[in-house]
Amino acid sequence: MNKDEKILKNFTSKDYEHGWSTDIDVDQAPNGLNEDIIKLISKKKNEPNWLLKWRLDAFSKFKKMKSPNWANLKIPKIDFQKISYYSAPKQKSKLKSLKDVDPEILKTFEKLGISLKEQERLSGVAVDAVIDSVSIGTTFKEQLSELGIIFCSFSEAVEEHPELIKKYLGMVVPKNDNYFAALNSAVFSDGSFCYIPKGVRCPMELSTYFRINAANTGQFERTLIIADDNSYVSYLEGCTAPMRDENQLHAAVVEIFAGENAEVKYSTIQNWYPGDKNGKGGIFNFVTKRGICYGDYSKISWTQVETGSAITWKYPSCILKGHHSKGEFYSVAVTNNYQQADTGTKMIHIGKNTISKIISKGISAGFSQNSYRGQVRVMKRATESRNFSQCDSLLLGNNCGAHTFPYIDVENKSSIIEHEATTSKIGEDQMFYCLQRGIDEENAVALIVNGYAKEVFNQLPMEFSVEASKLLSLTLEGSVG
Amino acid sequence: MIKDFTSIKKNISKETNSILKTKKTKVFDSLDDVLKTYKEEYKYSPLLRKVSKKFDILRVDSFKEKKKNIDKKILNQYKNQYSIITINGLFQKNESKIPNGISVNTFDKLNNTDKKFFHKFFNNQDDSKSDIFTSINTINYKESLLIKIDKNYSKKDHVNILNFIISNSGESINHIRKLIVSNQNSKSVFIEEFISLDSIENFSTSVTEIIQEENSEIEYLNIQNDKNNFHFNSINISQKQNSISNCFTFSYSGALVRNNLNVKLKEKNCYSNMYGFYALREKSHVDNHTTVDHIDENSISNEHYKGIMDNNSNGVFNGKIFVRRKAQKTNAFQSNNNILLSDEAKINTKPQLEIWADDVKCSHGCTVGQLDKEAIFYLQSRGISKEKAISMLLGAFSEEIIEKIENQFIKEKIKKITYKKLEYFTS
C-alpha cells in the first residue's frame, strides 16, 4: 500500500458519530402494512375522517404501483410487511411544554448537539424535534405565534388548522406521485407544519430534527411549508439514526408552497446512518421533496448536504409556475464505502421569465456510486426563461463511480439553457501547492474538498455551514486521490 | 406497438450458414431483454410505435433479387469517384467502382478464409444490450457486405457508399448491413448517403460495424437528407491500439431519423472524434444517440454536436461517455449546442457521464439558445438583409463542425449542401 492509499484509507474509514441509540419506552405498532395499520395510525393521531379516507385512497393507489427501477441504484427488495409503521416514545399525558418531555429524550437531543432547553433560551433557532414517528417538542412556539406564524408538528396542525391542511396537503406532491410518496401518504406519522402569513418575514430559522431510534421501524414524516404572499422563511432539517445491522426505510415527503413574492429557503443536512464499512445496514433514504413557486416573483431555494444513508433517492424539485419566479438547487452529495446516491433536481419552467440555477457537487470515495440526475424542462409558455446548471464530480480513489444524467427539454425559442459538468480527481498541482506551503496531505485534501463544496456551503445558514464543513471533513477524512 | 416478434423467426430458418444461424437465434432470444431498454432509449423518439403503424416491419422478405435501374443522371453526379452502390440493401457490383486495396463482397461470395474472418467480427456485441432495430436488422437483412481495407492502404480519394432506396417496387422496408474492417496502418475515407428515388414513405435500417486494427485511421461521414424517410442508422466502431476514428453525421431532413453511434475504445492510445450537425425544418425529427466506451488507458474522445431547429422540428441528443475502471488517464469531452428558431420546435438533450476511474478528465457542456440579436443588428446596420444575416450567422454556427472534415473535396460538398439548406432558415 503506498502512502497515498494509506492516507486515503485513514481518511475514509472514520466511524459514524451518531450511531448510539436511546433506551426509552416506546409505543410501537405491530409490523406489517395493511388497512388496519393505517386506521390505527389515524386513530392514534385523532385524525378527522377525511384524512383517513385520504390515507386509504393513497394506500389503494400504492398497491397498484411498482417500485421505481430507473435510478442508477441497486436496491435490495424491501419487505414492507416487516416494517413497523408507527413508533413513538410513550407519553403519559399530553405535553404542555418542554418541561414535561421525558428527560431521556431531551438527553438524546443534547447528545446530538441539539439541546432543546438551551435552544429555548439562547439561540435564534426554533426547533421541532421528531423522534421515530412523533414530534417531541417545538421550541419558540409562542414568540412565533405572536407574528401569526404557525410552526408545529403535523398532527397538531391537523387538529388545530384542518382548513390549511385540507387545502394544501397533496397539492405539490399528489398522493399517487410516485411509489414512495404514495406509501408515505398512506402511513405518514408526523412531521412539521409551517405557515407564514402574508407579509411576514420569519425572524428566526425554523428547524426540524429527525431521529430514527427504534429498530425495525420506518420513518415516514411529512413536512408542509406554506409561505403566503410577500413572506420569507428559512427552514433547516437535520437527521441521524443509530447504527443497526438491518436496513431501515425512511420515506418522507416535503411540500413547499410559495405565494406571490414569497421566498422559502430549505436547507438539509442529511446524516442518516450510512451502514458500516462493508455496506451492511444503513438507512434507505427515499424522499420526495418538491416546491411550487405558485405566485409571481416567488422563490424557492433548496440546499442539501447529503453525507449519510446507505441509499439515497432524492430529487428536491421546483415547479416554477408564477411569472418571474426563481428556483435554486445547491447540493453537495458525499458517498463513501458502499453508499449509493442518486440525487438531483427537477426544474419545471411554466411561467414566463422564470429563472433556475443548479449547482451540484458530488464527491465519491471508497466503493460508492454517486449519481446526479436532473431535469430542466422549459415549457412552450415559459418564454424568456433562463437556466444555468453545473454539476461537478470529484473522485477519491479508483473503486468508486460518478455519474451524471441531465435531461434538458426545451420547447420555445427565447429561453437560454446552459449546462456544464466535469469529473476529475484532486489535481496533483493543487496538492503540491498546499504541501509546499507546509500543509500536510490530510489537511490539504480537506481544504481542497471544502473549497470545492464552498459554493454550496455558502448558501447554508451560518450554524449549519460550520456543521456541514465539519461533517464533510469527518466523512472524508484521509482521501487523497 | 409490437410486442410479439415470433413471426420473424421464419427469417432465421431461411439462413443457410450455420454459424450465422446460431448468431441470429441468439439475437432473437434476447429480443425481450432488448425491448426492456426501449422505453428509456427511445423516450423522445417513438420510432417503433410509428413505423409499426405504417409498415409491416416484421415482414418476411423474399430473397429473390429483382433487377432495378438507377437513373443515369443521378449516378453521373458521382462520376469519376470511387463508390460502393447498393439498391434496397443489395450490392450492385457492376455499378460500383472500387479502388485497389479495398475489397467489397457479399457474404455469399466470400471464400472460406474470408468467411472465417467475417464470423470473427460480425455482430460481436452483447446482444442483450443491443438496440431493438439493430436486432431486427441482424435477423432480417437480405445481404451483408464485407468491406476490407488492406494493410497500409492510404489513398486520399474518398469512397462513396450510396444506398439507393426504390420503394415503388413494393419494398418500403429495407435493411442494410455492412462490416468494414480497416487493417493495420490503413487510412481511408468513406462518405455514406441514403437516397430515396421516389417520394413514397419508406423505412430503412442500416447497421455498420467498423473494426479498426492497430494504427488504422478512418473518416466516416453520413449524410441524411430524405424527407419521407423513417430511418434507423447504427454505426458501431471498435478500435484497437493507436487507431483513430473520425465520425461525422449530417442530418438535414427526415420524418423520423435515429442515429446510433457507438464507439468502443478497446485498447490503449485510441483517439475518437465524433461530430454531428443537424439543421431541421418542418416536421423533421432527428435523434442522435452516441456512446463512447473507454475500456483501456490513455485514450481520448472528443464529441461535438450542433443543431438548428425551426418550424415544428424536433431534435434529440443523447451522449453517453463511459470510463471503465481500467481506463485511467482518459480524456473525454462532449459538447452539444442548439439553436431554436421557433416556438414550435423542440430539443431534448441528455449529455450523460458514467465514470469509474479516478485519474480522468471528463467534461460535458450543453447549451440551448438563439442567435445573438446584436450580431444580427450589426450585420443589418452594414446593409445586409435580415434573412441574409440570419443565414450567415447560422452558417458560421455550422462551420465549426464542417471545418473538422479533413478531406477537402467532401468539406466543399458538405458546405454547399449546408449553405443551401440554411437559406431557408429565416424567421
The average pLDDT across A235-242 equals 72
Ranking A191-195, A271-275, B176-180 by mean pLDDT, the lowest is A271-275
The strand pair at B144-149 and B102-106 is best described as: antiparallel
Whole-number Å distance between alpha carbons of B338 and A357: 19
Mean pLDDT in chain A? 80
Q: Which three cell numbers stand for residue A116?
A: 432543546
Whether residue B349 and residue A408 make contact (CB cut-off 8 A), yes or no, is yes
Residue with cell 458500516: A276
Residue with cell 437531543: A109
Give me the pLDDT at residue A109, please. 61
pLDDT tens-digit readout, A255-266: 999 999 999 999
- Shortest CA gap B343–chain A (Å): 4
pLDDT > 70? residue A157: yes
- Shortest CA gap B199–chain A (Å): 30
Give me the pLDDT at residue A480, please. 47
> Which chain B positions have a beta carbon within 8 Å of A395's beta carbon?
355, 357-358, 360
Torsion-angle region of A225 (φ positive above 0: left; ψ -120 to 50: alpha; else: beta): beta
Give me the pLDDT at residue A122, please. 42
pLDDT > 60? residue A40: yes
> Which chain A positions have a beta carbon within 8 Å of B356's beta carbon?
398, 400-401
> Which chain B positions have a beta carbon within 8 Å of A402's beta carbon?
353, 355
Where would I find the beta strands (DSSP E) of A154-252?
192-196, 205-211, 222-227, 232-240, 247-250
Q: In Å, how far are A43, A61, A133, A359, B293 from A51, measured between CA atoms?
A: 11, 15, 17, 38, 52
> Which chain A positions have a beta carbon within 8 Å of B348's beta carbon?
407-410
pLDDT band at A428 (very low <50, low <70, confident <90, very high): confident
pLDDT tens-digit readout, A340-355: 889 999 999 999 999 9
Q: How many residue pairs from chains A and B have C-beta atoms closer than 8 A?
A: 118
The average pLDDT across B216-230 equals 87
Nearest CB to A481: which of B340, B342, B358? B358
Give me the pLDDT at residue A232, please. 92
Sequence-distant (≥ 6) Cβ neighbours of residue A301 within 8 angstroms? A263, A264, A265, A266, A327, A328, A329, A330, A459
pLDDT > 80? residue B344: yes
Domain ranges of chain B: 6-371
What torsion do the CA atoms of A18, A19, A25, A30 make, to the nearest 10 degrees?
120
Tell me which of B37, B316, B353, B425 to substitute to probe the interface with A (most A C-beta atoms closer than 10 Å).
B353
pLDDT > 80? residue B407: yes
CA nearest to B37, candidates B315, B265, B320, B230: B320
Ranking A380-389, A414-423, A424-433, B32-41 by mean pLDDT, the lowest is B32-41
Chain B residue with CA closest to A385: the answer is: B369
pLDDT band at B383 (very low <50, low <70, confident <90, very high): very high
Chain B residue with CA closest to A416: the answer is: B369
> Which chain B positions have a beta carbon within 8 Å of A411's beta carbon?
343, 345-346
Residues of B with CB under 8 A from a CB of A: 40, 325, 328, 338, 340-370
pLDDT > 50? residue A367: yes
The average pLDDT across A229-254 equals 79
Nearest CB to A413: which of B340, B356, B358? B340
pLDDT > 80? residue B381: yes
Tell me which of A69, A407, A411, A413 to substitute to probe the interface with B (most B C-beta atoms closer than 10 Å).
A413
Give me the pLDDT at residue B326, please. 87
Mean pLDDT in chain B? 85
Whether residue B363 and residue A409 make contact (CB cut-off 8 A), yes or no, is no
Tell me how far apart the 2 most distant CA atoms of chain A are, in Å: 69
- The reply to whether A5 touches chain B by the CB within 8 Å rule is no
pLDDT > 50? residue A419: yes
DSSP state of A219: B
Ranking A99-103, A177-181, B13-17, B75-79 by mean pLDDT, the lowest is A99-103
pLDDT > 50? residue A121: no
Give me the pLDDT at residue B379, please. 93
- The reply to whether A421 touches chain B by the CB within 8 Å rule is yes
Q: Which amino acid is at B296?
A: D
Q: In Å, how far are A391, B46, B56, B125, B136 from B1, measured between CA atoms?
A: 37, 10, 11, 25, 15
Whole-number Å distance between alpha carbons of B357 and A416: 33
pLDDT > 70? residue A7: no
Q: Which three cell numbers stand for residue A361?
A: 457537487
Contact B245, B272 (CB under 8 A): yes
- The reply to whether A34 touches chain B by the CB within 8 Å rule is no
- Shortest CA gap A110–chain B (Å): 40
Q: Which three cell numbers stand for residue B247?
A: 465520425
ipTM score of the complex?
A: 0.82
Whether residue A412 and residue B340 make contact (CB cut-off 8 A), yes or no, is yes
pLDDT > 70? residue B138: yes
- The reply to whether A395 touches chain B by the CB within 8 Å rule is yes
Which range of B55-64, B115-124, B337-346 scores highest in mean pLDDT? It is: B337-346
pLDDT > 80? residue B12: no
Q: Which DSSP helix (H) or strand (E) runs through A177?
A: none
pLDDT > 50? residue A82: yes
Ranking A16-25, A446-455, B310-319 by mean pLDDT, the lowest is A16-25
pLDDT > 80? residue B177: yes
Between A234 and A94, whose confidence is greater?
Answer: A234
| Residue B6 three-state SS | helix
Phi first, then psi, for residue B287 (nearest 5°) are: -120, 120
> Which chain A positions have a beta carbon within 8 Å of B370's beta carbon?
413-414, 416
pLDDT band at A16 (very low <50, low <70, confident <90, very high): low
Whether residue A406 and residue B366 make contact (CB cut-off 8 A), yes or no, is yes
Whether residue B353 and residue A421 make contact (CB cut-off 8 A), yes or no, is yes
pLDDT band at A139 (very low <50, low <70, confident <90, very high): low
Nearest CB to B343: which of A401, A412, A425? A412
Contact A348, A381 (CB under 8 A): no
Nearest CB to B348: which of A405, A409, A414? A409
Give me the pLDDT at residue A300, please. 93
DSSP state of B53: H
> Which chain B positions have a beta carbon within 8 Å of A413's beta carbon?
340-343, 345, 370
Ranking A128-142, A274-288, B14-28, B43-57 by mean pLDDT, the lowest is A128-142
The average pLDDT across B234-247 equals 91
Give me the pLDDT at residue A94, please. 47
pLDDT > 60? residue A4: no
pLDDT > 60? residue B419: yes
Contact A129, A114 (CB under 8 A): yes
Chain A residue with CA closest to B350: the answer is: A407
Give me the pLDDT at residue B301, please. 92
Q: In Å, how far are A5, A14, A331, A335 from A431, measured between CA atoms?
A: 15, 22, 24, 22
Give me the pLDDT at residue B284, please. 87
Phi first, then psi, for residue A108 (nearest 5°) are: -55, -50
Give me the pLDDT at residue A309, please. 80
pLDDT > 90? residue B272: yes
Tell me which of A73, A371, A419 to substitute to probe the interface with B (most B C-beta atoms closer than 10 Å).
A419
Ranking A397-411, B69-83, B144-158, B295-309 by mean pLDDT, the lowest is B69-83
Ranking A4-18, A24-38, B323-337 by mean pLDDT, the lowest is A4-18
Give me the pLDDT at residue B303, please. 92
Whole-number Å distance between alpha carbons of B104 and B84: 8
Domain ranges of chain A: 3-314, 430-476
Give me the pLDDT at residue A243, please. 59
Whether residue A400 and residue B356 make contact (CB cut-off 8 A), yes or no, is yes
Give me the pLDDT at residue A1, please. 45
Whole-number Å distance between alpha carbons of B323 and B305: 20
Chain A residue with CA closest to B323: the answer is: A401
Between A134 and B117, whose confidence is greater?
Answer: B117
Whole-number Å distance between alpha carbons of B405 and B275: 9
pLDDT band at A93 (very low <50, low <70, confident <90, very high): very low
Share of chain B above pLDDT 90, in %: 23
- Shortest CA gap A346–chain B (Å): 14
Whole-number Å distance between alpha carbons of B336 and B302: 11
Chain A residue with CA closest to B357: the answer is: A398
Contact B180, B147 (CB under 8 A): yes
B113 CB burial (10 A radius; 0-12, 13-18, 19+)? exposed
Nearest CB to A410: which of B340, B341, B363? B340
Sequence-distant (≥ 6) Cβ neighbours of residue A35 within 8 angstroms? A56, A59
Share of chain A above pLDDT 70, in %: 77
